A and B are shown apart, each in its own frame.
Chain A
Amino acid sequence: MTTPPASAAPELLRVTDLHAFYGESHILHGVDFRVAAGELVTLLGRNGSGRTTTLKAILGLTGKRTGSVTVDGRETVGMPTHKIVQLGLGYCPEERGIFASLTAEENLLLPPPVGSGGLSVDELYAMFPNLQERRKSPGSRLSGGEQQMLAMARILRVGARLLLLDEITEGLAPVIVQALGRAVRTLKEKGFTIVLVEQNFRFAAGLADRHYVMEHGRIVDMIPQAELTASMQKLQAYLGV
């Protein structure tokens, strides 16, 4: 691993005492974690522990939220979603969020730039060749794997530096999971900062610098990659596997 230790790099994302609600239901109960620039961290936990909601709350996609979320030192609680994203965020939602009424290429070209240094369409087609073949197809006709690749490619084009990836391997064939693993590794080498919510622990374990464990809407533990093997028993208890 060539990445410097987390402490050396400047902090890109800092979440402090984050509470989030959907209507009357209180989902996040004071989430605290931080991510350094260039780091890849995972949010692990059982279903319903609040990992997806944490990503949504960072983007302002939940209902009311309190606490603090800073991106590159700028407070974003209270900002509208599109302003937060313009700070350089890219979001890959759990349901992939491919627009059915747009073609694959329209989907790819849709998001406006949120920063400099995005990958070109050619680079993206080189990374995900299937997308080039399918570029005229409506979003609704793409396979699950193609949709996931498109959802990834879409946020890489816009120059986002901080990627929030939610369950990108869910329900996909092993060969596609491997391709996504290679893509995520490439992104990390290119210096992207990534927060990965992942059910597939083996996928996450091979990529991450640190793992945050969530339970009942809180972060309950943090495990650096180096201590992962030693912490397996503890982790299995957390995840119930």
Chain B
Amino acid sequence: MQALFGQLLVGLINGSFYALLSLGLAIIFGLVNVVNFAHGALYMTGAFLAWFGLANLGIGYWPALLLSPLAVGLFGMVLERTMLRRLYQLDNLYGLLLTFGLTLIVEGLFHHAYGNSGNSYPVPEALQGGTDLGFMFLPRYRAWVVLVSVAVCFASWFVIERTRLGAYLRAGTENPRLLQAFGVNVPLMKTLTFGFGVALAGFAGVMAAPIYQVSPSMGSSLVIVVFAVVVIGGMGSIFGSIVTGLGLGLVEGLTKYLYPAASSTVVFAVMAVVLLFRPVGLFGRET
């Protein structure tokens, strides 16, 4: 029993990261129409910035939680302005190729500078320890990760679905040319949206640093699963990406308990089945 709950907790933690990352991807794909392959590399960059800040500059976890996503978001906006923007008239395959190339460059640079081995990042003091729930031991930091990820995801969802700012994003996702024909500065919106989406990845990176090893390849192992999550949830669906991210984390955890050998492939099996019966994804809109 303890093993089951343990695996479900691990699943929920992984699911929190899937949700944070696929949410960013979904927002970016929706408005900017870019399949941002660099999302994993930017998540890794977020984790590395936190690690670097602590090791060299004495910047702790809490400031890093703010500064690191900010830096990643700014970097993303520079990428959008200088490179991605030039590809908007072309098929979105080009954006995917560009961000794939950027991933290789960014990961290569980190490999070159820091080698392949992981660096550990301490759990912040206030979140050390844990609680014995009777049926399982709940480490405080892991509970924090789940709570904050869920809160950030649903706050983003609320802003997008229920506020005026979100109405711009939804309208722009549906028809950016027309939104611009009402006097809205859509090119600026795209830059800011891309920045926000990748800042979420940077944020996830900092959250992940105390749990996983901070290594140059930490993003690439995650991003493939996250893309599967986005496809299962429905390309561009905000709600779908959050729910599917958390849900698939749990499915993975359950599989680890029932049949560990299948745990790394179960997400792709789910993807295949979903695509067979609902090609637009679970929450995607039929067009």
Q: Using CB atoms and an 8 Å cutoff, list the residues of chain A in contact with chain B.
A: 59, 61, 80-82, 85-86, 89, 91, 93, 97, 99-102, 106, 109-112, 114, 154-155, 158
- 12 A–B pairs (Cβ distance < 8 Å), ordered by A: A81-B181, A85-B180, A85-B182, A91-B182, A93-B178, A99-B171, A102-B170, A109-B167, A110-B171, A112-B184, A154-B182, A158-B182
Is there an interface contact between A102 and B171, defined as CB atoms closer than 8 Å? yes
Q: Could you tell me if B186 and A82 are in contact, using CB atoms closer than 8 angstroms?
A: yes
Contact of A82 among B173, B174, B175, B183 (CB under 8 A): B183
Question: B173–A61 contact, CB under 8 A?
Answer: no
Known: A61-B177, A106-B167. 6 other contacts (CB 8 A): A81-B177, A93-B178, A97-B175, A101-B173, A102-B167, A110-B171
Question: With an 8 A cutoff between CB atoms, is B185 at the interface?
Answer: yes
Q: How many residues of chain B are within 8 Å of chain A by beta carbon?
A: 19
B residues near A, CB below 8 A? 164, 167-168, 170-171, 173-175, 177-187
Residue of A81, A100, A110 touching B180 (CB-CB under 8 A): A81
The answer to whether B183 touches A112 (Cβ under 8 A) is yes
Docked complex Cα distance between A86 and B171 (Å): 18
Contact of B174 (CB < 8 Å), options: A100, A154, A155: A100
Chain A binding surface SS class: loop
The residue in chain A whose Cβ has the minimal distance to the Cβ of B178 is A97
Contact call A101/B181, Cβ cutoff below 8 A: no
Q: Which of B171, B173, B186 has the most CB of A within 10 A?
A: B171
For B167, the chain A residues whose CB sits under 8 A away are 102, 106, 109-110
* Alpha-carbon distance between A101 and B183 when the two chains are bound, in angstroms: 19
Bound Cα distance from A80 to B188, whole angstroms: 12
For A81, list chain B residues within 8 Å (CB): 177, 180-181
A106 to B186 CA separation, bound complex (whole angstroms): 18
Cβ-neighbour of B181 out of A61, A102, A106 (below 8 A):
A61
Query: How far in angstroms is the closest Cβ of chain B from A80?
Result: 7
Which of B171, B175, B179, B183 is the most central at the interface, judged by chain A CB atoms within 10 Å of its CB? B183
Determine the chain A residues whose CB is within 8 A of the CB of B184 once the complex forms.
Answer: 82, 111-112
Residues from chain A with Cβ under 8 Å of B183 in the complex: 82, 85-86, 89, 111-112, 114, 158
Least Cβ distance of A118 to chain B in Å? 12
